[in-house]
Structure 1
Amino acid sequence: MKLPNGPQIPALLQMVRWITNPMSFMEACAKRYGEIFTIRLEKDSPPMVIVSNPQALQQILTNDTKELEAPGEMNDVFEFLLGKHSLITISGAEHQRQRQLLMPPFHGERMRNYSQVITDVTQKVISQYQIGKPFNIRSATQAITMRVIMQAVFGLHEGLRAEKLQQILGEILEKASSRLIVTLLFFPALQRDFGPINFWGKQMRRQQEADKLIYEEIRERREQPDSSRTDILSLLMAAKDEAGQPMTDEELRDELITLLVAGHETTATALAWAFYWIHKLPSVRQKLLQELDSLGNHPDPGMIFKLPYLNAVCSETLRIYPVGILTFPRVVRKPFSLGAYELEPDTVLVGSIYLAHHREDIYPEPKQFKPERFLERQFSPYEYLPFGGGARRCIGLAFALLEMKLALATILSSLELELVDNGEVRPKRRGLVTGPDRPIQMVVTSQRQVKSPILQTSTV
């Protein structure tokens, strides 16, 4: 059996580089070893093969034989936060069942229920920012995406429970993004308290407090069902599988947290990057404002969603610095041929979204932000995959794109913004995803002349 080449430094050093700066580590490996290479993060663990070749990615992500498997246990690094019943941590028939139950709220007619929530929340958040006073754009987008999730997913608009749950969940996600927590995830033996050093214990207690509030909400909903509610929790509680069985309280809790983690941090970061690039490059901002202004004062969100240049800006944002830089792992179960390589059982296969998005043969000048790429050609699902691919492609991608586009349109149509510092911002690891390596400070210079809110009715 022949494995692709890879770095020969000790596994511990590879792990350190993987934790501290996975993007530069992968780029260095790709430059030296090519588009398919092998790394080892633990001395006696199976090899991990990193892939950025589109044909190989297609072969991996569409494989429906017994050769490859996407077992949930490979994602057990997420279990401390998401639980044992999360769509991310389960596999096989259980994964298929949960995915079928989760899909309907994110498609078709039901999507329009969320448009008003997104624009209302966005307008309320941006109304707090004063002309001439700098602010961190990522803090603003985090506030937007958290409140959208609290209302659209949890169905909590106001009240003591809503405020407390939002505060605790915000703390959990912020702490989970620290480099210390990431290190603890990769070294399970350290996941305990060490006297006065009890980071892990504090995080677990926060989660227990959040779980208590979530289970209280689920119990009240079961005792007082309301068929008129359209939030995702209510829809999931009413859903039944092919055997006529609903989701258990534990399954509901785990999927709610999964939707929070997958939809809050990622969309907030993508929006922050979008504002950075739009205001760093005046030509991009000018073209985008012209397109938005062409819709008039009362654009339908369906029209906003379909704007070609806005779509190109969002697509390029998700290309250049994808928030999720890897596909979920697949494990070789039977000898598997991948290009010139014969892979043994237990070999782990991971697609590098980051490297795939930076291939010069597909994206000339890949380090440059050029929305026009997405106007000039279409890319295959294995050349452009910000939401992953195959059976584990993100189910919330349509919701995320809707939120990105409506939030951008609402803010850009309402406020004149500028970057406080036009210097370069680079991506770095932020928890299990990525984010800007320093705060992106912006300032409101004036109000734009918009006579009314962007959204009145919705057909997305």
Structure 2
Amino acid sequence: MTLPPGPKTPSWLLNQQFKADPFGYMDAISRHYGDVVTIMSGSTSIVYVSNPSGIKQIFTNAKEIIAPGTLNQGFVLTTGNQGILQLDGLRHKHRRKLLMPAFHGGRMQACGQRICELTEKIMSQQAMGKPFVVYPTIEDITLRVSIEVVTGLQKAEQYEKLRQLFSSLIKHVQSPVVNIFRNLPFGQQNLGRWSPQGYLLHLRQEIFDLLYAEVKERRKQADSSCTNILSDLVLANDETGELLSDEEVRDLLLSPIIAAQDASATALAWSLYWIHRLPSVRSQLLHELDSLGESPNPKRILELPYLNAVCNEVLRIYPTQLFTFPRLVESPVEVMGYELSPGTVLIGNIYSTHQREDLYPESKEFKPERFLERQYSPYEFLPFGGGARVCIGATFALFEMKLVLATILSRYQLALLDKRPARPMFDGLLCHPAGGVKMVMHSRRQRQRQPQDLITDSV
């Protein structure tokens, strides 16, 4: 085996350096070692790849390189033992197929108006002239959307309880104080509800119990006309023709709720940061949105080219998901000229790929126009990963981003309170802005009349 070069620093120290400054750490590693780097974790060799050709090998070589669910066991605490991340092979492929319809096509389009309504409802609760933090506000929007899409809960009491539980879970996981305690030697021991780990396990069990009860209730009144993931799964058969168990249905609900909520909220918080940090971007985006007239339908918003470019540039410069899910070398294979042995772990470095100067000149600059001038391959631009483990909610996340942004920008005058650059914070999978992006809402916004409006008026 010939491993790529990499730092000899102990893995615990590298981990601390990464947590302190994720992007600075990865930039330094890329400068020193190139686009294929080995990091040792105990006796396991982990090879990070940020070369599009190498990433293509990882995604397309399913014979020598596999994507086992065992490598994603770190997420079991919040996704359950039978979540989509933990499944393998034909079972994984079959369950993904069951989950996909809600995040694509007609069903997704049907959510458009609801997303706009929820955004307006929650944003209208902000007091004019009073500072607020964007991230938790946006999280409330995306969490409500994801619960509706995944569970279709109708009873207000259960819906609100589930929303509050997930909200508490997210706040707990993202809390800087909690993360400090969890990194201590005893930090991940269950010492009762007062301890970080104990409270996390308590919230997890509350969510599991509520979803399990809802699965059993929905099973009693199964309705094929309902258009949500829970209703689909209680009627679905597994690969042997048997109905899925209640426990598996429950576990399969967790990843879509979290994925549809957390990644979208993170991307939207970064979007509002960049748009209001760069007046020229905001001005061009508003001009495009105003061209649609009053109350445009969601379909027209989704077709806006500059809005699409802005969303893509947000996902490029600070991708919410920094790395692909890990793969495992099952039999000897050559990747980027290196002979890798079975047991080697391969991970696509999304952030460093998106920072390549040969693909994205002036990569540290926020330039949406690059996505108007060039089309990138799925190995060059991969904000949601790729291959068999690509995020199931990727299309929906971009769909939601556009509609929430269009609604907020069209109706409200916002401004950043802090002129300093936002600092990224990594919480184990996603990279969100530290501090949550502080803004102030100055007023409701009036659409700027376009030349075609004036022509119509004169006629």
Structure 1 residues 182 and 98, CA, compared in 2 at 3 Å: closer, same or farther? farther
Amino acid at match of 1:266: A
Q: Please give the alpha-carbon distance, in whole angstroms, between the structure 2 residues aligned to 1:109 and 1:196.
A: 43
1:367-446 alignment, distance < 5 Å: 367-446=364-443
Amino acid at match of 1:203: L
Q: For 1:252, which of 238, 249, 253 is the aligned residue? A: 249
Q: For 1:217, which of 194, 214, 218 is the aligned residue? A: 214
Aligned partner of 2:16 in structure 1 is 16
> For the Cα contact (< 8 Å) 2:187–2:196, is it kept in 1?
no
Structure 1 residues 447 and 169, CA, compared in 2 at 3 Å: closer, same or farther? same
Structure 1 residues 80 and 20, CA, compared in 2 at 3 Å: closer, same or farther? farther
Q: Quick check: 1:2 aligned with 2:35? A: no
> For the Cα contact (< 8 Å) 2:256–2:392, is it kept in 1?
no
TM-score by length of 1: 0.92
Amino acid at match of 1:154: T
The answer to which of 46-55 and 218-227 deviates more is 218-227
Amino acid at match of 2:45: P
> For the Cα contact (< 8 Å) 2:36–2:50, is it kept in 1?
yes
Q: Please give the alpha-carbon distance, in whole angstroms, between the structure 2 residues aligned to 1:307 and 1:402.
A: 12
Aligned partner of 1:80 in structure 2 is 77
Q: For 2:202, which of 200, 205, 212 is the aligned residue? A: 205
> For the Cα contact (< 8 Å) 1:179–1:430, is it kept in 2?
no
Structure 1 residues 279 and 450, CA, compared in 2 at 3 Å: closer, same or farther? same
Number of residue-to-residue matches in the alignment: 448
SS at 2:37's partner residue? strand
Q: How far off its partner does 1:197 sit?
A: 6.5
CA offsets 1:197-219 (integer angstroms, 9 cap, x no match): 72111111111111111111111
Q: Please give the alpha-carbon distance, in whole angstroms, between the structure 2 residues aligned to 1:359 and 1:184.
A: 36
Aligned partner of 1:447 in structure 2 is 444
CA offsets 1:119-138 (integer angstroms, 9 cap, x no match): 11111101101211111111
Q: How far off its partner does 1:56 sit?
A: 0.5
Q: How far off its partner does 1:407 sit?
A: 0.6
Structure 1 residues 133 and 182, CA, compared in 2 at 3 Å: closer, same or farther? closer
The answer to which of 151-160 and 398-407 deviates more is 151-160
Unaligned regions of 5+ residues in structure 1, if any? Answer: 452-460
Q: How far off its partner does 1:434 sit?
A: 0.9
Superposition RMSD in Å? 2.1
Amino acid at match of 1:209: E
1:30-179 alignment, distance < 5 Å: 30-41=30-41, 43-44=42-43, 46-65=44-63, 67-178=64-175
Amino acid at match of 1:13: L
Q: Please give the alpha-carbon distance, in whole angstroms, between the structure 1 residues aligned to 2:150 and 2:403.
A: 17
The answer to which of 346-355 and 94-103 deviates more is 94-103
The answer to which of 25-34 and 192-201 deviates more is 192-201
Q: How far off its partner does 1:236 sit?
A: 2.7
Structure 1 residues 54 and 305, CA, compared in 2 at 3 Å: closer, same or farther? same
Q: How far off its partner does 1:83 sit?
A: 1.0
SS at 1:161's partner residue? helix
Structure 1 residues 196 and 86, CA, compared in 2 at 3 Å: closer, same or farther? closer
Aligned partner of 1:226 in structure 2 is 223
Amino acid at match of 1:25: Y
Q: Please give the alpha-carbon distance, in whole angstroms, between the structure 1 residues aligned to 2:299 and 2:237.
A: 30
Unaligned regions of 5+ residues in structure 2, if any? Answer: 449-459
Aligned partner of 1:458 in structure 2 is none
Q: What percent identity do the matched residue pairs reach? A: 47
Amino acid at match of 2:56: Q
1:315-326 alignment, distance < 5 Å: 315-326=312-323
Q: Please give the alpha-carbon distance, in whole angstroms, between the structure 1 residues aligned to 2:181 and 2:387.
A: 30
> For the Cα contact (< 8 Å) 1:416–1:447, is it kept in 2?
yes
Amino acid at match of 1:354: Y
Q: How far off its partner does 1:170 sit?
A: 1.0
> For the Cα contact (< 8 Å) 1:117–1:152, is it kept in 2?
no
Q: Please give the alpha-carbon distance, in whole angstroms, between the structure 2 residues aligned to 1:142 and 1:191.
A: 26
> For the Cα contact (< 8 Å) 1:182–1:431, is it kept in 2?
no
CA offsets 1:145-196 (integer angstroms, 9 cap, x no match): 0111122222125522211111111111221224576688889985323589
Q: Please give the alpha-carbon distance, in whole angstroms, between the structure 2 residues aligned to 1:77 and 1:437.
A: 23
Aligned partner of 1:329 in structure 2 is 326
Structure 1 residues 347 and 393, CA, compared in 2 at 3 Å: closer, same or farther? same
> For the Cα contact (< 8 Å) 2:66–2:330, is it kept in 1?
yes
SS at 1:130's partner residue? coil
Q: Please give the alpha-carbon distance, in whole angstroms, between the structure 2 residues aligned to 1:36 and 1:203.
A: 36
> For the Cα contact (< 8 Å) 1:113–1:230, is it kept in 2?
no
Q: Please give the alpha-carbon distance, in whole angstroms, between the structure 2 residues aligned to 1:388 and 1:304.
A: 25
Q: Please give the alpha-carbon distance, in whole angstroms, between the structure 1 residues aligned to 2:296 and 2:172.
A: 39
Q: How far off its partner does 1:23 sit?
A: 3.0
CA offsets 1:225-247 (integer angstroms, 9 cap, x no match): 23332222222323334543333
> For the Cα contact (< 8 Å) 1:315–1:371, is it kept in 2?
yes
> For the Cα contact (< 8 Å) 1:280–1:419, is it kept in 2?
yes
